[in-house]
Amino acid sequence: MTTTTTTAVDTHCPYCALQCGMRLAPADGPDGAPVQVLERPEFPVNRGALCGKGRTAAVPLAPGARLTAPLVRDGGTLREASWEEALDRVAAGLADAGRRHGRDAVGVFGGGGLTNEKAYLLGKFARVVLRTPNIDYNGRFCMSSAAAALKAAFGLDRGLPFPLADVARAKCVLLVGGNPAETMPPAVRYLRELRENGGRLIVVDPRRTRTAELADLHVQPVPGTDLALALGLLHLVIADGLLDEAFIAARTTGFEQVRAAAMAHWPERVERLTGVPVPVLREVAGRFARAATGIVLTARGAEQHSKGTDTVAAWIDLCLATGKAGRPGSGFGCLTGQGNGQGGREHGQKSDQLPGYRSLTDPAARAHVAAVWGVDPDTLPGPGRSAYELLDGLGQPGGVRALLLMGSNPVVSAPHATHVTARMKELDFLAVSDVVLSETAELADVVLPVAQWAEETGTVTNLEGRVLLREAALAPPEGVRTDLYVLRELAARLGVPDGFPEDPREVFEELRAASAGGPADYAGITYERVRAEDGVFWPCPAEDHPGTPRPFLDRFATPDGRARFAAVSHRPAAEEPDAEYPLWLTTGRVLAQYQSGAQTRRVPELARAAPGPFVELHPRLAQRLGVADGDRLTLTTRRGRATAPARITPGIRPDTVFMPFHWPGLGRANSLTHPALDPVSRMPEFKACAVRVERARDDR
């Protein structure tokens, strides 16, 4: 039986990167939840506010909503098994693939919702126990383009290099490709406060979302043209004499090359590319450049493209050219999506990084981490394949043949998902560690039922770079173990009995040592400090260091302290509409569901609010197709087909349709999406591809 604490416990929501503060109380909650969620008004990020997902976060803790025993596959069917049998099978499956095909044939796929302790130990497990380069995680599909551009420009990737509260104090905020009113609703208070304080909000999105309805100005570009838009705005800033010449001279380098690139994107050309009228371009450029302070925020709409890194770089260029970076109330930031999307990539589950955001190819970084791990740095493998490339090679010659997957559901969430599903089925062996029997877990040879957020302690790092502590409020059900237990037991079975503790505090102490001196330095952060201070901002190199809420006020994290402009140019999407596929498809989230929906689809309140997928289209397009609201539509791309009911709205461009991506089966949006990769970040092109829309054959 599950046992609960006898007192209320302060912790954090398991969903998005806001990591809203909440309190879990020892009383029966709704829908059989063993605890109830209460507000925690004193936590500074959300100040007590919770969205529907946060309010119902305890529901999946109920035994009926989740796995409570290991499953192993016999004769094509999953059956319950003991932990000993299940772990023995996983160890044997991984070891057998390594013996038969070499270490590179064993892979690990992680998740952006894993705590820092889990992400850290998973990376260590891949490199020390399996000694494979092939580890990556679903955060590659979230923040990688912004991360690459931030590191190139500022020398450091921290999604928001300022607290979220700074947004409310800026005089102008440009929000590009984000819809926080649905993806992180408690953050909307900062946008409302911005306007109450006299600031202006400009939203760039092909759809008139709930967030766009809050804006002073809504700009609706063609999907995949945010790069051209940013360059067009920079052109106007230069042409109209709105540059901050003193800031450029004192704190940046590389502007002259950027000036030449921007001047090739004159307003009339940008209007043709983006569909945004020249007068609107002039209004946006003028408002942002003339504002005393300003912030640009990007999200997945701008980043999930095969040119996502260049797109983010262009928006950073706009900030630098107008002096809106490295100053109070100004800067560029990225709205991280997943719960630990920031921390998850800092500590070693990304294919090219070691803990502390160290480079896997840096000899000094390898030596430092190897010393903490007690291994020879020469035994650490080099960089492996990025997330989609790893999935694309599953079961193929030279690819991964046995995969350990933790906290991810790529059968629903990966691009070209039909292809990825087929690759999963070609594996020699698949083990999945998860809370529920996800669509990916249904394909596994072994499924390991693991504890949820409220049943284990561990740190996460929110979108501001604030390290937080999720506290255990109850014990997991009988038959459920933690991911740290899984890694410890597998390591021992594979010949490494030491160095994989189950105690999260012990893991965090090692993480502190491994990150010390690195770009993401957690050395001065302790569980006690995090509890006492409502989180600590990294970098924090010593216990007497206050943490760093705004890292770029005095200098940027580059060798000379100057920010780097990036000379980029518009290029088309990997696939644009044509006669056969005449429309744009873009994808995204809805308020009541989260990511692949593996947990939120099991919450009755959320399932009632958002019961299934839909296709959003403009009335003119609906008239041309002869469909009414609710008619079933079939969407077809060169990769696959999906079916869902029509939702007609004037808030979307007439040349564009939108589909949310939370559902499997016939309504799986990622059956349609394009796997073209950004050459730098290896981000797939989720947000723009060519599609054909027709009435479904079974409709009237």
CATH number at residue 19: 2.20.25
Q: What three-state secondary structure class fits 9?
A: strand
Helices (H) and strands (E) in the chain, counts: 23, 30
- Whether 184 contacts 590, CB under 8 Å: no
For residues 513 and 522, give the distance between their C-alpha atoms in angstroms, rounded to a whole number: 8
Asked whether residue 223 falls in the same domain as residue 266, the answer is yes
92 and 18 in one domain?
Answer: no
How many residues are recorded in the chain? 700
Same domain, 151 and 251: yes
Alpha-carbon distance of 384 to 502, in angstroms, equals 27
Are 590 and 527 part of one and the same domain? no
Segments of the chain scoring below 70 in pLDDT: 1-6, 28-31, 698-700
Name the one residue in this structure whose structure tokens are 């006492």: 532
Asked whether residue 628 is domain-assigned, the answer is yes
CA angle 384, 385, 387 (to 5 degrees): 130
352 belongs to a structural domain = yes
Do 353 and 294 fall within a single domain? no
Distances (CA, A) of 600 to 66, 444, 457, 607: 12, 21, 22, 7
Q: What is the DSSP letter of 292?
A: S
Let me know whether 196 and 284 are in one domain: yes
Please indicate, yes or no, whether residues 323 and 360 belong to a single structural domain of this protein.
no
Shared domain check, 415 and 273: no
CA distances from 63 to 326, 435, 569 (A): 49, 10, 53
Domain membership flag for residue 361: yes
218: domain CATH number is 3.40.228.10
Q: Does residue 562 fall inside a structural domain?
A: no
Structure confidence at residue 366 (pLDDT): 98
- Structural domain of residue 620, as residue ranges? 583-695
Determine which helix (DSSP H) or strand (DSSP E) holds 283, and give its type and residue range: helix 278-290
Domain match, 114 and 185 both? no
What pLDDT, on the 0 to 100 scale, is given for residue 424? 98
Same domain, 360 and 298: no
The reply to whether 683 falls in a domain is: yes
End position of a domain, from candidates 22, 41, 61: 61
Query: In this structure, is residue 552 part of a structural domain?
Result: no
- Alpha-helix runs per DSSP H in 494-550: 504-515, 527-533
Distances (CA, A) of 529 to 164, 468, 523, 539: 21, 10, 12, 14
Question: Does 414 reside within a domain?
Answer: yes
76 and 154 share one domain? no
Chosen domain end from 304, 337, 370: 337
CA–CA dist 363, 347 (Å, integer): 17
Overall number of domains in the chain: 4
Q: Extract the runs of DSSP E, i.e. beta strands, from 30-119.
A: 36-39, 71-74, 77-80, 106-110
Domain of 636: which CATH number?
Answer: 2.40.40.20
Determine the pLDDT at residue 2: 43
Residue 149 inside a domain? The answer is yes
| Claim to verify: residue 306 and residue 191 sit in the same structural domain | yes
Query: Is the separation of the CB atoms in 575 and 690 below 8 Å?
Result: yes
CATH code of residue 450: 3.40.50.740
